Structure 1
Amino acid sequence: MIEPAPGATPPRAGGTDQVTAVLTTLLALQRLSWEQGVAGHAALDLGRDDLVRVIADDAVVRQDVDGRLGEVDGGGLVNCGALVEVVETAWRTTGDERLRDGLSRQLRWFERGCPRAADGTLFHLTGNEQMWTDSVYMLVPALFRLGRPAAAMAQLDGHRRRLQDGSGLYAARWDEPSGVLVAPQHWGTGNGWVAAGLARAWRETAAQPHRTALATQARVVIDACLAHRRADGLFHDVVDDPTTFVEANLAQMLAYAVLTGVADRWLPQDLAVVGQDLRAAAARGVDPDGFVRPVAGSPHFDRAGRSAEAQAFFLLAAAADDR
């Protein structure tokens, strides 16, 4: 670890200095398509139009022949969806036709190219036929932004029916050929993807029935997670399994969802203090290098470490708090 310079003042917990440190570290990390997408969301919400334009341009430069935005390793089927919002925003700002064409190719991939189940629910990765909780974040807001609200709600329903149980929590992975949960654990980050994805999707539609459904489902997941919150404000990696390691990213993801819900008025104002407390709990773990720790660590997310997505969600929660 790089030590701070002698006499340097450490970043203030949750403040502007800490936001700058976390953003700087995020921009130095290697990122795959979904990590680049959530970094783009942080840039959008922080008002960093300079970063938005660069991220959008590179997403199209690195778009593959199938139409998947920013898909540099070829392993993801839907992670590319996290880049839709930043590319669409940059297109409307700049009028760059390359960006609009990139969005058209991405939509064709979702509608025609991406492997899917018989009911149309899209698979998450190449090499298997599985649905993951992560896909809710990658798909639902993107399909709303691309003008496909019915498809967005259909993807949400297909994933919810397979992955959510009576506790309100989502299991991590479903295997379609066998018809079973191959990762039945209530993975914290996976549930965070759902809560954050629903909060972001709410902002992509003005249709009241859709907004009501998104808000209702988000509240269920948020409450189910909060029931397992530790005394230190954080969560276990598997939220209902105290034998798993403690991590901070679910706290940030829930902080983002809660504070967004309060700002957008689909959650009551008195929950703001919950969101701010979740954010503060995660901020206490930011190290002198600007890494948010401990979180489910890349590249395999099976142990405590650090990740680009955790960096981004620190920033998203900060921006939501400001809103």
Structure 2
Amino acid sequence: MTKSAEPTKVINAMLAMQRYPWEQGVCAQALYEYGREDLYIPMAYDAVKRMDKNGRLAMAGGGEAVSDPASCGEVCLRAYEKTGDEFFLHGAKSMLEYLLHRAPRTDDGIICHNDESYYEGFTKYQLWIDGIYMVPPFLAAMGELDEALRQIRGYKRHLYDPENSLFFHIKDVALDKFVRKLHWATGNGWALMGLARVIEEAEKRGRTDISDELMPLLNELLGSMLKYARDDGRFGDILDDEMSFADGTSSMMMAATVYRGIKGGYIPAARKAAADKAYETVSQAIDEYGLLQEVCGCPDFTSEGTSAEAQAAYIMATAWKK
């Protein structure tokens, strides 16, 4: 990775955005992957400073979040490795302790996304596909690879649609009922990026049993998503809904995964053309302030707008493209 041709405006716009725990985590992770220790270390610092009494990182405005705070965990670990400051290690260990011993789980042991339900008539024992990025990569980085794999297997068991080889968005596991039975493009993008990071950590630690299990899942998911790529390389917000708006976030999540996967040897080089097309299209949708337009937008993520994860995914794609 290199800092040449740095997307300065995209980074600056991202840093200007108000952040919930998952936004702090994915933005800091993007800067870590881009090699900007001058930025990801201060973000890790603030994530620890805003840790709650349960050990959940970056809990500014995220009171019900369970899995989202874990997205901040790896940058805390990397900040410790870089600085030797035990402050960062304390944050990472506290987050891990919460996940392993205090986080609410489904009956089969999968960590819930929130500690309450946003949806009337549903319990808090919900899995959101977003969580496959939030939790397993951090568990893997902390050496808990078996638990990371257990969690991924749970997401696949409850949310994977074998007919389309895509993930559905949200399921209430306690009621065995889907809350949002849609093939949300950004959610599947989260899954791609999460799987890639666990694969790489498993490879680094010599756990080829885990990487060998996850590589086919990642490539199957990637291939299924690319079947729905539009002429300009982007996806629709709902992958199999031709009427849904074009979404650049999921496209950049795909591109970032493809670029790093080619470098890592677990994604075929032939996939690069799809990533390049998406990257070129999304690059044209960056406005004068550095904001990615034409993406699935916060705060409700059901309409077109802007988002911190769109900015982060573009930075990740840029980092791994070099």
Q: By the TM > 0.5 criterion, same fold? A: yes
Is 1:81 equivalent to 2:81 in the alignment?
Answer: no
Quickly say closer, same or farther: Cα 1:300–1:281, change in 2 above 3 A.
same
Q: How does 1:136-175 map to 2 (within 5 A)?
A: 136-166=132-162, 167-175=164-172
Aligned to 2:119: none
Contact 1:39 1:312 in 2 (8 A): yes
Aligned match of 1:130 in 126, 142, 147?
Answer: 126
Query: Is 1:171–1:184's contact at 8 Å kept on the other side of the alignment?
Result: yes
User: What residue is the counterpart of 1:312 in the other structure?
Assistant: 312
Contact 1:18 1:290 in 2 (8 A): no
Structure 2 SS opposite 1:131: strand
Amino acid at match of 1:57: Y
SS in 2 for 1:205: helix
Structure 2 equivalent of residue 8 of structure 1:
none
Work out the CA distance in 2 between the residues paired with 1:272 and 1:225: 14
Number of equivalenced pairs: 308
Hey, what's the Cα distance between the residues in 2 that align with 1:63 and 1:21?
29
Pair 1:197 & 2:185 matched: no
- Write the distance in 2 (CA, Å) between the matches of 1:282 and 1:132: 26
Q: Cα offset for 1:17?
A: 6.0
Q: Percent identity?
A: 32
Residues 273-292 of structure 1 mapped to structure 2, 5 A cutoff: 273-292=273-292
Corresponding position of 1:94: 83
Conserved? CA contact 2:255–2:275, under 8 Å: yes
Counterpart check, 1:180 vs 2:177: yes
- Counterpart AA for 1:92: E
Q: CA deviation at 1:297?
A: 0.5
**Unmatched tracts of structure 2, length 5 or more:** 117-123
TM-fit CA distance, 1:75: 2.1
Inter-partner Cα distance in structure 1 for 2:79 and 2:6: 27
Equivalent residue for 1:264? 264
1:31 shift after superposition: 0.9
Q: 1:169 to 1:84 in 2, by over 3 A?
A: same
Structure-1 residue corresponding to 2:120? none
AA aligned opposite 2:113:
H
Aligned with 2:166: secondary structure? coil
- CA RMSD in angstroms comes to 1.3
The reply to whether residue 47 of structure 1 matches residue 35 of structure 2 is yes
Distance 1:18 1:297 in 2: 24
Distance 1:126 1:298 in 2: 21
Q: Give 5+ residue unaligned stretches, structure 1.
A: 1-14
The amino acid across from 1:192 in the alignment is G
Report whether the alignment pairs 1:255 with 2:255.
Answer: yes
User: In the alignment, is the contact (CA less than 8 A) between 1:115 and 1:122 conserved in 2?
Assistant: yes
* SS of equivalent to 1:182: strand
1:280 Cα deviation (Å)? Answer: 1.2
The answer to whether the 8 A contact 2:73-2:91 is kept is: no
CA distance in 1, matches of 2:202, 2:315: 23
Residue aligned with 1:72, SS: coil
Is the contact made by 2:48 and 2:57 (CA closer than 8 Å) also made in structure 1? Answer: yes
**Of 117, 131, 136, which residue of structure 1 is paired with 2:106?**
117
What is the Cα deviation at residue 250 of structure 1? Answer: 1.0
Aligned residue number for residue 12 of structure 1 = none
Q: CA offset at residue 269 of structure 1?
A: 2.1
2-structure distance, mates of 1:40, 1:205: 22
Measured after TM superposition, the shift of residue 16 of structure 1 is: 6.2
CA distance in 2, matches of 1:179, 1:317: 36
* SS of residue matched to 2:285: coil
Matching residue of 1:9: none
- For 2:302 and 2:135, how far apart are their aligned partners in 1? 24
CA distance in 2, matches of 1:60, 1:263: 32
Tell me the TM-score normalized by structure 2: 0.93
- Matched AA of 2:234: L
